[in-house]
A and B are shown apart, each in its own frame.
Chain A
Amino acid sequence: EAEVAQSPRYKITEKSQAVAFWCDPISGHATLYWYRQILGQGPELLVQFQDESVVDDSQLPKDRFSAERLKGVDSTLKIQPAELGDSAMYLCASSSIQGATGELFFGEGSRLTVL
């Protein structure tokens, strides 16, 4: 069964360091999302891609976060510099249909701990 692949699964870093997360969506899925899930809370959208274009990055803290999907397939989310409040699970999801009409398939997430 096709899955969304994410790496690394776990990352521990010190504040002010740079961190990068990678996501490979299900083949053929044009829509890709990055969500952040703080412990005990629901996922919150950071950025939505349609192919290689950003559809919504209104909630992305652009002073420290960046996201790209250069060839419209895999994607990278970067944080520089990391802050203590960035400790969370970073979830990547993909869908064959843009927006709420399409089922989201989530990866297992990348858990970040900032010390």
Chain B
Amino acid sequence: QKEVEQDPGPLSVPEGAIVSLNCTYSNSAFQYFMWYRQYSRKGPELLMYTYSSGNKEDGRFTAQVDKSSKYISLFIRDSQPSDSATYLCAMGTGRRALTFGSGTRLQVQP
């Protein structure tokens, strides 16, 4: 079993929809939680960063962490065609390198 599980999609939504992306994990030591966005043929770029449990909002993006359920989410409001990409959750502890999920491919239809 992988430490981080993520539904690969693809997920197709109409422009303006609210998107929900999720990951589950098994390592209770994880304290740092991130979402990276990866456009086709590009390297991932950091989208959201959360430490421990709670919510964090940045514009149209909201990240949620529920450590009791070992579950993290990324919500995208008013989705745009430019949001079409693969979204990777990532998490880690202290000095250890990040562990990534397999990524969810999102397609926002105009």
Query: Residues of A with Cβ closer than 8 Å to B?
Result: 4, 33, 35, 40-45, 48, 55-56, 91, 93, 98-101, 103-104, 106-109, 111
On chain B, the residues within 8 Å of A98 by CB distance are: 95
B44: min CB distance to chain A, Å? 5
Q: Which residues of B contact A41 (CB under 8 A)?
A: 102-103
Sample of 17 A–B contacts (CB below 8 Å): A35-B100, A40-B8, A43-B44, A43-B100, A45-B97, A45-B98, A48-B97, A93-B43, A99-B92, A99-B97, A100-B32, A100-B92, A100-B95, A104-B44, A108-B42, A108-B43, A109-B42
User: Whose C-beta in chain A lies nearest to the C-beta of B91?
Assistant: A100
A-B pairs with beta carbons under 8 A, tally: 66
B59 at the interface (CB under 8 A from A): no
Which residues of B have CB within 8 Å of A106? 43-45
Given contacts A100-B91, A107-B43, A108-B42, contact A56 B102 (CB under 8 A): no
Closest A-B pairs by Cβ, 9 of them: A100-B92, A106-B43, A99-B95, A42-B100, A100-B32, A42-B102, A45-B97, A43-B100, A48-B97
**How big is the B interface, by class?**
20 to 34
Main DSSP-derived SS at the A contact region = mixed
Q: Is B62 an interface residue (CB 8 A)?
A: no
A101 and B92 CA atoms in complex are apart in Å by 8
Q: Verify B97–A42 contact, CB threshold 8 A.
A: no
